[in-house]
Amino acid sequence: MRVFNRVKASRKILIAAVALTTTAGLSIVASSGSAVASTSKKIGGSVSIWAEWTSTEQQDFKAVLQPFEDSTGITVHYTGKGSNMDTALDAAVAGGSPPAVALVPDPGTLNTLAKKHAIQPLASVIGNEAKNYGSAWTSLATYKKKLYGVWFKGANKNTVYYNPAVFAAAGITSTPTTWTALLADEKTIANGGTYAPVSLCTDIGWPVADLFQNLFVKLNGAAAYNQLAAHTMKWSNSDVTNTFAEMAALVGTGGSNLLGGMKGALADGSFPSCVTGVFPSSGSPTAAMVFEADFVTTSVPSKYTPGSGKSCTLSATASPCYDTFNFPAPSASAYAGDIQGSGDVAMLLKSSRQSKALIKYLASPSAASIWANLGGFVSPNKKVPLGAYPDTVARADAKALTSAKAFVFSLDDLQVGWEPQLWADMLNVLQDPSASNVTTVEALMDKQATTALGH
C-alpha cells in the first residue's frame, strides 16, 4: 500500500560530500545542499518529471534534483501528484501530453505503459547503472525481457518497530528472531499488564494486508507468493488458510494482544495515528510494537533517538528511543531471508538528451545518496553506501532491503481492479478468523480476483 502525506519529524542537513555523475560525463560535488560542476560544458534546456511526492518528500526530491540542474544546466520541472499519480499519468498518456519522466509506485503501471509502447526501453540509456540493482528489482522493471524502469525509492516492509524501553520494562533483553519467540514475547508483555504487545494499524485494510503478506512470504517463500499475486494459486489454497491462522495467533483471541483490543484497533488504527501508542509525543507508551514498513520512521517524534542504547527511557520527553527488528519467520522456515516491500520506479516517456540524462542520474547511487542522507528514504540501489544513511536504524533497513535473499512486491498493489476489496476481506478475516468465515472469505477472494484479473 502506498502511504501519502507522510510527515517527516525533522529534516537533516546534507553534510556529506557526494560525487555525482551524469550522462554528459559531468562530475558534480554536492556539499551542504550546493553543487559545483567540474566543467563548464552543460546540456541546457528543460525536462518535466512527475511523481507522487508532495510536502516534505517533495522538498527532499528537489534537493536530489538540484545538483543535477546545477551541473547540466537543465531546468527540471517537477510536479507532485500525490495519491492521484497513476490516474493523472494515465490521463496524460491518453491525452498525448505526458511528462518526459515519471515515477510510479507500482510495477503494474509500468507493464501497462510498456504494453502500450508509451515508455522507452532503458538498457542503452542507463548502461552500467543497471548493475546497481538486484535481480528481483530488475525483474519488476522488465517487460518482455526489456528493461523499462529504474527503482529510485524503495520501502522495506520487513520491519517491526518497537520501543526498547517497553521491552526492557517487560524483562525482554533481546529482540525475537523467530516467530515462536515473537509470540512468546507478546505473552510476556501482556502478562505484565501495563502495556499492550501490539498497536495494530488497520486503516482501511492495507496495513493488515501488509501483515498477511509478510507472514505469507515467510511461511511459503517468494515463488508461492508470486503465484498468489498472479492468482495462479487460489486464495482457497491451504497456504493462505495457514497464513490466516498465524495472523490470528499474533493478534490473539478477540484481539487480546492489541492496544484497545479488536474494537480499539479498528477504531484507532489509521496510519500514522497507530504509531502513537508505541512512540507518543508526550507521556509514556501504551504498546510495545507496531508492524509496518520503514516509512514509520517519518511518523516517530523527533525527540526519539534511533537505536536501543541503555539510556532509553519510558518518558516521551526524557531520552526516548525507537528501533526495529526484522519481521521473524516461523521456526525452521527456509524463507527467513525473503522480504516484501514496495517502491517508486522511474520511466522514460519522452526521449530527449535532457530526459535521458535525468533517468541515468536517478539510476546512479549518487542521486539516491542525497535523499538517503536527509532521512526517511531507502534505496534499492546496492551501490548506495550504508554510510549515506543518517543513523543505525536507517542503515539496518537499507542493508536488509538490498541484501534480501528474495524480494517480492506488495501483493495488494499488484491486484489491479480489486485492491480495495482485498483490504476489506483482510479486515473481515481479522475480525472473525473462524474456519467457517475464512473459508467463505477465501471463496469470495477467488471470485474477486478472477473477475479483476481474468483468470
Beta strand pairing call for 406-409 and 338-348: parallel
How far CA 313 is from CA of 16, 164, 169, 210, in Å, comes to: 31, 8, 10, 30
Kindly state whether residues 167 and 293 are assigned to the same domain: yes
Region of 143 (left: φ > 0; alpha: ψ -120 to 50; beta: rest) is beta
In which residue are the cell numbers 500514522 written?
Answer: 272
Q: In this structure, are 232 and 380 located in the same domain? A: no
Same structural domain, 244 and 377: no
Helix residue ranges, H only, 42-169? 55-72, 85-94, 107-115, 123-126, 135-140, 164-169
What is the residue range of 194's domain? 159-338
Same domain, 197 and 117: no
Specify if 6 maps to a domain.
Answer: no
Same domain, 313 and 177: yes
List, in order, residues 6 or more apart from 135 with CB less than 8 Å away. none
Domain-located, residue 24: yes
In a domain, 163, yes or no: yes
Taking only the tens of pLDDT, the chain with its 455 residues reads: 444 333 333 343 343 344 344 333 434 444 333 333 333 469 999 999 999 999 999 999 999 999 999 999 999 999 999 988 999 999 999 999 999 999 999 898 999 999 999 999 999 999 999 999 998 899 999 999 999 999 999 999 999 999 999 999 999 999 999 999 999 999 999 999 999 999 999 999 999 999 999 999 999 999 999 999 999 999 999 999 999 999 999 999 999 999 999 999 999 999 999 999 999 999 999 999 999 999 999 999 999 999 998 889 999 999 999 999 999 998 667 899 899 999 999 999 999 999 999 999 999 999 999 999 999 899 999 999 999 999 999 999 999 998 888 899 999 999 988 999 999 999 999 999 999 999 999 999 999 999 999 99
Strand partners for 63 = none
* Last residue of one domain, picked from the residues 399, 418, 440: 399
Among residues 338, 359, 379, the one where a domain terminates is 338
Within-domain flag for 53: yes
Same domain as 148, residue 233:
no
Looking at the domain assignment, is residue 453 inside a domain? no
CB distance 429 to 241 below 8 Å:
no
Q: Are residues 138 and 258 in the same domain?
A: no
All residues at 6 or more sequence positions from 56 whose CB lies less than 8 Å from its CB, including other chains: 6, 7, 8, 11, 298, 376
Asked, for residue 438, whether it belongs to a domain, the answer is no
Kindly report the CATH number assigned to the domain that includes residue 55: 3.40.190.10
Say if residue 35 is in the same domain as residue 102.
yes
pTM score over 0.85: yes
- Say if residue 39 is in the same domain as residue 148: yes
CA angle (25, 126, 140) in 5-degree steps? 155
> Hey, what's the cell of 273?
495515528
Domain boundary among 338, 353, 384: 338
CA angle 198, 425, 238 (to 5 degrees): 90
Whether 83 and 172 map to the same domain: the answer is no
Decide if 42 is inside a domain. Answer: yes
394 shares a domain with 320: no
Whether residue 25 is found in the same domain as residue 51: yes
Number of domains forming the structure of the chain: 2
In a domain, 294, yes or no: yes
